[in-house]
Amino acid sequence: MRLPAICAALAACALARPAPAATEIQFWHSMSGTLGERAVELVEKFNASQRDVRVIPVFKGSPEETTAAGLAVARTLGAPNVIQIAAADSANMLAASNAFKPLYLLMAESAEKFDPKGLLPAFRDSYSDDRGRMLSLPFNGATAVFYFNKDVFRKARLDPDKPPRTWQEVQVAALAIRDGDAAPCGLTTDRPAWIHVENLSAWHNEPIATRADGHAGAGVKLVFNGELLIRHLGLLSSWAKSEIFTYAGRANEGESRFSKGECAMLTSSSAAYVDIARNANFDLGVAPLPHYEEFPGAPYATLAAGGSLWALAGKKPAEYKGVARFFAFLMRPEVQAEWTRRTGFLAITTAAVDLARNFGGNGLRPDSEVAMKQLSGRRGLHSRGPRLVPLAKIRTIINEELEAVWAQNKTPKDALDAAVERGNELLRRDERGREAIAPDRHRSKRHLR
């Protein structure tokens, strides 16, 4: 065979040889509805940006269901590569430290660029260990903010450009709204335990628990039954009695009442803004969470909430390389800016915030500006929020006790004392359970060193 023919034959064989298959990355998440659609679109954009990695998004139910599903299969063949974990469940991942590969190790072992200093401090601190090393990648960021109906404020002869800054001013506004028949309900709230206990404590730099709110290790005790919350719940209790505060439920039932125009003011997540703005038929305002001026230094910073992405342990090097590439993609400023614009979640890097402010010439939405200002406020000893394994159960206890206050069945002090006592019993049971498997747990922590 002549040389040209041989070369042509070899070239044909090379062309016929199949391209290497892309590394598949299973990504379990808990975002449903429109948010789920946005997450899938984000993944599809990444998949289209390169050929070596293919991320497969899988909806696994509620945040609690997703965490439980991930931990149940950790280090097995059925485990995903990446899992979205709600901020409240971060301690559960740490308690099962053999279940994940820390972010700082994942990125250090890859060729991808990753600078944790580029993250907003609130998000960087919330997902780091006690040595400041990042464990997971912030993904769906949010914090607590204050919403108000500007049309109702005008009807009640209140200045819509001067929302209440303090809780005393909230009372003045609520009374004016009631006395002027401007709305059936003055104030309502979503997620009372998270907003009126956890965030309010951080906002005033007051502790939720000992041991740096649980970040410094075992032996934690709840201590949130102090002057701040006794005073705050006492105020809300008096408002409930005089019908200027309406309790709607433990989740986002308050958002629904506010969006319908029934309640004039709402404390909720910054991530609720997009849905509220879509459903509300009134001039919507958003402002910082009110505070008490009597507490020195207040306000500080509210809590970075939402969720983060964890890389699970026991995977192949090629898969970790793919996960690192996916994470680096998510950190791009243009990706972050588009994500916050379309979902209502907050951008997690300073570069993304700067870009989002100029996105399309429209700047950040009002909720994002307010949220970023709160999260960028002075950080105190208690700005990271509680890191407790049974935090979801403790929130349930707190909500039960708060409901007794709203119903006038308990005083704020009695309810808070009961919540602390019941929560501490839960913490001790959890510690005893983990001590029973201490040898395995100690061995599993070696990869964190």
Domains contained in the chain, CATH given? 20-135+305-331 (3.40.190.10), 144-301+390-435 (3.40.190.10)
- Of the chain, the end-to-end C-alpha distance in Å amounts to 62
Q: Determine contact, residues 90/127, Cβ cutoff 8 Å.
A: yes
3 state DSSP class of 319? helix
Residue whose C-alpha is closest to residue 166's, from 294, 293, 297: 293
Does 136 score more than 60 pLDDT?
Answer: yes
297: which residues sit within 8 A by CB, 6+ positions away? 204, 205, 378, 380
Q: What is the pLDDT of residues 307-357, one digit of tens each?
A: 999 999 999 999 999 999 999 999 999 999 899 888 989 999 999 988 888
pLDDT confidence tier of residue 448, bands split at 50, 70 and 90: very low
Report d(CA 32, CA 52) in Å as an integer. 28
- Closest to 250 (Cα-Cα) out of 172, 326, 180, 192: 192
Whether the per-residue pLDDT at 199 is higher than 60: the answer is yes
Mean pLDDT value of segment 241-245: 96
CB burial string 166-195: b at 16+ within 10 A, e below: ebeebbebbebbbeeebbebbbbbbbbbbb
| Section 252-268 average pLDDT | 97
What is the C-alpha to C-alpha distance for residues 283 and 394, in angstroms, rounded to an integer? 36
What are the tokens at 447?
Answer: 């990869």
Kindly report the average pLDDT of the chain as a whole number: 91
Residue 431: alpha-carbon gap to chain centroid = 25
Burial class (CB in 10 A: 0-12, 13-18, 19+), 34: middle
How many C-alpha atoms does 139 have within 13 Å on its Cβ side?
28
Higher pLDDT, 358 or 409: 409
pLDDT at 432: 86
Which pLDDT band, with edges at 50, 70 and 90, does 360 fall under?
low
Alpha-carbon distance of 25 to 196, in angstroms, equals 39
Give the pair of three-digit tokens for residue 129: 């260990």
This prediction has a pTM of 0.90
Mean pLDDT of 386-402: 96
Given a contact cutoff of 8 angstroms between Cβ atoms, the answer to whether 75 and 314 are in contact is: yes
The predicted pLDDT at position 14 comes to 45
* Alpha-carbon torsion angle 109, 113, 115, 116, nearest 10: -60
Task: Give residue-wise pLDDT tens across range 79-116.
Answer: 999 999 999 999 999 888 789 999 999 999 999 999 99
| Per-position DSSP letters for 228-293, written without gaps between them | HHHHHHHHHHHHHHTTSB----SSSHHHHHHHTTSEEEEEEEGGGHHHHHHH--S-EEEEPPPB-T
The long-range contacts involving 272-280, CB below 8 angstroms and separated by at least 24 positions, are 272/147, 272/190, 272/344, 273/145, 273/147, 273/344, 273/365, 273/366, 273/367, 273/368, 274/343, 274/344, 275/344, 276/147, 280/149
Q: List the beta strands (DSSP E) in 133-262.
A: 137-142, 144-149, 185-189
Q: Is the pLDDT of residue 1 over 90?
A: no
167-176 pLDDT, tens digit each: 999 999 999 9
Under the banding of pLDDT at 50, 70 and 90, the label for residue 402 is very high
**Angle (nearest 5°) at CA 109 between 93 and 345:** 50
pLDDT exceeds cutoff 90 at 265: yes
Taking alpha carbons only, the member of 286, 142, 129 closest to residue 217 is 129
